[in-house]
Amino acid sequence: MQPRPVLYVDVGSPFAYLAAERATGVLGRAPELRPILLGGLFRLNGRSSWAGGDPEPRRAGMEDIEARAVRYGLPPMRWPDPWPGNYLVPMLAVQAARLDDPAAGDALLLAGFRRMFVRGEDLGREEVLRAACADADLDADPLLRAATTRPVKNALREATGAAHERGVIGVPTLEVDGRLLWGDDRLEEGAS
């Protein structure tokens, strides 16, 4: 039996949202959603996000994502304000959930993506993160407490560093059969 595909994601990435929503259907099996910090990966790679710079590429990128969502049959994109924002605490909560149960981490990631890009809510706000925990049938209190602990912070930092060492340069990146496929539009290559 082949190892389960891994999809490297950050909850602040709309491209990662598109990939996470489509991955199971495209691949024919659910990938492991592996949280990494995109900002940390950018620092390791010496890159930066297209979303925070020049307004024209940002506008074009957002329009492209909206068109992809329609093409993929997903709900219309709604953008949280602000976007991008600070998603460190949500990513730490996901990591905390994942340490207890990887399926719980996957459920929280999906709930967070939907809060962000379907409902247009800022997951960086505690009440929105708590609502995403409820959507995933998780108790927010222990996850938010765990998010401040050194083991959870170290686990997320180590996951990001390990992804970088594997050759991951951005999210979403699908790892399947020893190959790294970067971009939501490359999922189909992972199915073959």
Is residue 1 one of the residues assigned to a domain? no
Is residue 94 one of the residues assigned to a domain? yes
Element containing residue 32 per DSSP (H, E): strand 32-35
> What's the total number of domains in the chain?
1
Is residue 24 one of the residues assigned to a domain? yes
Is residue 154 one of the residues assigned to a domain? yes
Put simply, whether the predicted model's pTM sits higher than 0.75 gets the answer: yes
Is residue 156 one of the residues assigned to a domain? yes
* Mean pLDDT along residues 121-136: 98
Tell me which residue range forms the domain holding 145.
6-191
121-131 in b/e form (b: 16+ CB < 10 A) is bbbbeeebbbb
The CATH number of whichever domain residue 175 belongs to comes to 3.40.30.10
Q: Contact 173/7 with Cβ under 8 angstroms?
A: yes
Question: What are 26-67's pLDDT values in tens digits?
Answer: 999 999 999 999 988 888 877 777 677 778 888 999 999 999
